[in-house]
Amino acid sequence: MAGTPPQGLTVASRPGRGRPAVHPGAWWLWALGLATAATRTTNPLLLALLVAVSAYVVAARRTSAPWSRSYSAFARMGLAVLAIRLLFAVVLGSPIPGTHTVVTLPEVPLPHWAQGIRLGGRVTAESLVFALYDGLRLATLLVCVGAANALANPARLLKALPGALYEAGVAVVVALTFAPHLVADVRRLRAARRLRGRPDRGLRGLLQVGLPVLEGALERSVALAAAMDARGFGRTAAVPPAVRRTTTALTLGGLLGVCAGTYGLLTAEGTAYGLPVLLAGLTAALAGLRLGGRRSPRTRYRPDVWGARAWLVAGSGIAAAVIPAVCAAYDPAALHPGVVPLTAPTLPLLPAAAVLLGLLPAFVTPAPEEAA
C-alpha cells in the first residue's frame, strides 16, 4: 500500500519531538519571580507557601536528568543557612530589643575596640523570631534558585543566549552544573560503597568519598575544555571598527541606563524618570547585544521556541513577584509582621493568591514522560 514503509524499516520521529515542552528561560523567569517575591516579605506563612509551591512544581515537572536532582541539595543548604542564622542570633546577640528572655548565656567580656559586639548574654524571644524570619527569607531564596536548576536544562539555556553572551554563558552554565553533578557523583559513590559493605557516613566515609568526587570533577573539566577547543570556542568574526565601537557604546550605555532606571524605581525621588530611563537602557542594551552577536558566528540546531506555555510559565512567576511588591506599598505590615511586640503573623490574601499563581506550570506543562 502506498505510504506504508517497507518491512524492517522504522519511521523517523516527527520534527521537534525531542524538544522540551517549555523554554528553559521561562523556568528561570518563573523561579526568579518566586525568589523576588521572597525578598519582598518576611512573613513566614508567605515564605512557607513559596517553598511549597516550588516543591510541588519541581516534584511534578522535573525529569530524571542528573542536574534535575539538585533541588534537595538546595533545600538542605537553605536549612543550614537558617540554622546558622539562628546560631548567630544566640551567640552574637541581636540589635532587636526584647522583654521575653528565653535563656541567659555566660557573656564573654570583649575589649573596647569591639564595642557593639557581644558573645553570650541574654537571648530574647524577639531576637530569635527576627532571626527566624530573616533566615527563612534567605532559605526560600535558595530553594527558588534550586527549583530553576532542577527544571531548566542548562545546555538548552546556553543555546538560547545571544551570541554576544555566549562565552559568558558557557562559564555560567559550567558553574550552574557543577553542584548538580557533584551531588550525583556523591550519591553514586555512596551507593557503590554501601554495595561493597563499606561505611558511607561519618568523617571517614566523607574523606573516602571526597577524593573520587574531586578526581571526577577534574576529569570532567579537562574533557569539557578539550570539547570546547575542538568546537572552536572563542572564535570571533571580523567586524568593522565602527560596529565594535557602536556595540560597546550601546551595551555600556544601556547597562548604565538600566542601573539608573532601577535606582529611580526603588527610590521615592526618582519615580518620574525611573521607568523611561529603564526602558531606554533596556532598548540600548538589547541593540548592543544584537550587534555584538555578529562577532560570534555560530548556528543553532533546532532552537527552542518560546511558545504559549513559556508565556504562561514566565507570566505566573512575574505575577508572583509584582503583586506582592504592589501590596507592600499599601499594607507593609502584612508582609513584614512585627517582632516588637511579638505578634502572630497573618496570611494576606492577595499576595497569597499571587504566590499560588506559581502553581500554574504544574498544570499547563506536560509531564516529563510526555515532553520526552
Residue-wise pLDDT tens for the chain (372 aa)?
A: 444 444 443 333 343 444 557 888 889 999 999 998 998 889 999 999 999 999 999 998 888 876 777 888 899 999 999 999 999 888 887 778 878 888 888 877 777 776 667 787 788 888 899 999 999 999 999 999 999 988 887 777 767 666 666 666 666 666 666 666 777 777 777 787 777 777 667 666 666 777 777 777 777 767 766 776 676 665 666 667 777 788 778 878 888 888 887 777 666 565 567 778 888 888 887 787 777 666 666 666 677 778 888 899 999 999 998 888 888 778 888 888 888 888 888 888 999 999 999 999 999 888 876 444
For cell 560596529, the residue is: 243
Nearest-angstrom CA–CA distance, 262 and 274:
6
For residue 372, the tally of other CB atoms under 10 A from its CB is 13
CA atoms within 13 A on the CB side of 101: 5
Question: Domain locations in the chain?
Answer: 24-235+306-365, 239-295
Q: Which residues pair with 101 in a beta bridge?
A: 124
Nearest-angstrom CA–CA distance, 243 and 325:
40
Nearest-angstrom CA–CA distance, 84 and 132:
10
pTM for this structure? 0.71
- The reported pLDDT for the residue numbered 12 is 37
Q: Is 104 helix (H, G, I), strand (E, B) or coil?
A: strand
- The reported pLDDT for the residue numbered 215 is 75
Cell triple for residue 167?
562565552
Which has the closest alpha carbon to 355: 93, 17, 25, 34? Answer: 34
Q: Which residues pair with 104 in a beta bridge?
A: 122
